Every structure is written in structure tokens, then in C-alpha cells.
Structure 1
Amino acid sequence: MKTSTELIEQLGLDKAITLDHIPNIDLYMDQIIQLFENTYGETKRNDTDKVMTKTMINNYAKAKVFFPIKNKKYSKEHLILISMIYHLKGALSINDIKTTLEGINEKTVNKDIDLEAFYNSYLQLSEKNVESFKAEVNFQASEVKKEVANLEVEDQDYLEKVMLISTLVSTSNLYRKLAEKLIDELESKEV
């Protein structure tokens, strides 16, 4: 089995759409898709996967996950929100994402938030999360190796992979459940 460090390096966790990547002019949908493809294309699991599609963006617009566009063009604020949606969609439903970003959308439209500063803070925290993630995965891999060694069975490499997959999914579920609980609190405050 490849080491956890080798596997993590293949994930492209350093990839992000920063404010420097987002032009100060409004973009058409095809330009947004190209920006996401150029930034995250290497991180796809399979070559046939799409990073972002017109259908995805249209579905986000129909669900009102971000405020309406003007003249078929997306502003810098739209791109920031679409980038956040891109990251949230891996763990949350479209309704949970809408609930999460509803207040941000409203504050953006009312100019009650510096969305660029908020996004930069989000990106900084994400970078710190990557470092914590690397340390945690290395710790989990070490613990898995010890547990499987205690089983004294053949094909330990296979069992280590299955155990690490199970452990990572279990941890992921814990984070998702806590995020959902926080979303529920957001919803209860809106009522």
C-alpha cells in the first residue's frame, strides 16, 4: 500500500480558486466552467468526471443557492459563492448548502459583508485544515497498521486498506453530522 503521505499528495489539496484567480469582470458560464476545470481538473477521480457543468450551475441558480445573475453573467461575488458551493457539495445536500449560504447571499446583496475578506478567511482556514488532515490521516494510518498487525492474518495490505477506508469514512461522517447539526441551528434561528 502506498503511504498515506503519497496518497494525500495525489489529492491536489493545495488547489483552490483564490481571489487572484477571479477576474474583476463578470464572466459567462463557459468561462466559469473553464476556471474550475483549470483549477481542479487534476483532482478528479476519473478522467470522465466533470468538475463543474452548466447543469450544476443552473441547478444552483434554480435552487436559489446564490443570488440572481444579471445579463447571463456572473460577478466576482457569484464566483466566490460557486466556489464555496463546490466545496460544500461533497458533504452536504443542496438544501443544506442553501440554508448555510442564505445569510451570506443576503448580506452580499445588501452589501453588509466584505465577501472577499470572508472568502480569504475561509481559504486560510482551509489551508490549516489540510495540514491538520495530513497529520490526522498519518495518525489513523499508523493506528490501522497496529490494529491489523494484532490480527495476525495474511494479506495485511488489503486489510489495512479496508480498515483505513472504514476509519476515514467514519471520521468523515462525524464531521458531516456535526455540520448538519449546525445547519439545523441556522434553520431554527430563521423561523
Structure 2
Amino acid sequence: MIEIEKLIDALDPKSQIKLGDIPEIDLYMDQVIQLFENNFKDTRRNEKDKLLTKTMINNYAKGKLFFPIKNKKYSKEHVILISLIYQLKGALSINDIKAALETLNEKLIQGNFDLGSYYEDVLSLQEAGSQAFKKGLQERAEEASSKAASEEDPYLEKLLLILSLANMSSLYRRAAEKLVDEISGSTNE
């Protein structure tokens, strides 16, 4: 049987940049990168993996995924947007991320939107999603174990779970893409 509790513990969905973690003062790029390293280090698959690099941030800026910075410094709002981009890039293309965040960036430029409060809602929803994920993962593992019981092969049991999780991931990604198409007004039919 798959050691699902060990797997769940290794995923540690608590790795987040909370609003209180972001300084009130503007940060230089190296400070932004360090903030991400400190808060997301446990999410790396391998120690050598880079979470966020200067090149990534520069590409996000060139791609207009967030509003322009001033004096080579990143505001609290920039850090929040970079955090959202970081979280979205595992599931969506850069073009989809740009489309999803375009209106949010416009609201921030106009100055009539409380991104901090919205970000708290994002984190709250993510916490609820993490709890649902843990329960769902446990259920998928039990189903895989039950279905593979006749095989008595741990490899086949794990492969069954991998295939199930990959399918769920694909469904969630496709649902997110459909929502991006809705908010951006595009349809790919």
C-alpha cells in the first residue's frame, strides 16, 4: 500500500507568502527572490531547482504580466502579483496568465482595488483547497490500492495512482483554461 500520509506531508501545502511576510517597503529584485526562496523552498522537487530567477521576473515584466515597476523596486502589490504568477505557472501558459491578470493589473493601475484583501481571500481559498486535496488524495490512493490488490505489485499500484492524479490535474487545468477564456473574452472552439 502506498504511504499516502508520507506523501501528503512531503507536499506541505502551507508553503505560501502570506501578506504579513511582505515588507511594507519596496524591494529590489534580489530581495524579492530571497523572499520566494524563504517561503517556497520546501516546494522544490530537487535542491538545485530554482524557484524564481532574475530572468523569470524580467520575462514577466517584459510580457506585461504585472504593471511597471518604479526605480528598480517592487512594491507589495508587485510581490503579490509575482506570487500569483508563480502559483499559476504550474498549470497555465504565460499567455493565459497574462489574460487572467490583465484586468487585475488595470484595477491596480487605476488605484481603486485592495489587492491585499483580495490576496487574503486567495490564500484562504487555497487553504480550503489544500484540505480538500488531502482528502481526495487519500481517497484516490485507497481506490488505487483496492483496484491493484489483485496484482500484488507496488509498482502497478503507484502507476495507477499516478495516472489518476495526472487525469485530475488535466481536468483542473482545462477548467482553469476555460475560465481564462471566459474572462478574456476569447474562445478556442
TM over 0.5: yes
The whole-number CA distance in structure 2 between the counterparts of 1:85 and 1:48 is 21
Within the candidate set 144, 167, 172, 1:170 is matched to 167
Q: Which residue of 1 aligns with 2:33?
A: 33
Q: Which residue of 2 aligns with 1:161?
A: 158
Contact 2:12-2:43 at 8 Å conserved across structures: yes
Q: Which amino acid aligns with 2:88?
A: L
Q: Which amino acid aligns with 1:40?
A: F
SS in 2 for 1:25: coil
Q: Which residue of 1 aligns with 2:51?
A: 51
Q: Which residue of 2 aligns with 1:65?
A: 65
Q: Which residue of 2 aligns with 1:95?
A: 95
SS in 2 for 1:106: helix
Percent of matched pairs sharing the same residue: 54
SS in 1 for 2:21: coil
After superposing the two structures, state which structure 1 stretch, 107-116 or 94-103, moved more.
Answer: 107-116
Within the candidate set 181, 184, 187, 1:184 is matched to 181
The whole-number CA distance in structure 1 between the counterparts of 2:2 and 2:184 is 43
The whole-number CA distance in structure 2 between the counterparts of 1:169 and 1:4 is 16
SS in 1 for 2:121: helix
SS in 1 for 2:20: coil
Structure 2 residue runs without a partner (length 5+) = none
The whole-number CA distance in structure 2 between the counterparts of 1:43 and 1:164 is 21
The whole-number CA distance in structure 2 between the counterparts of 1:16 and 1:171 is 23
The whole-number CA distance in structure 2 between the counterparts of 1:97 and 1:63 is 10
Structural RMSD (CA): 1.1
SS in 2 for 1:71: coil
Task: Report runs of 4+ in structure 1 exceeding 4 Å deviation.
Answer: none
Q: Which residue of 2 aligns with 1:119?
A: 119
Q: Which amino acid aligns with 1:148?
A: A
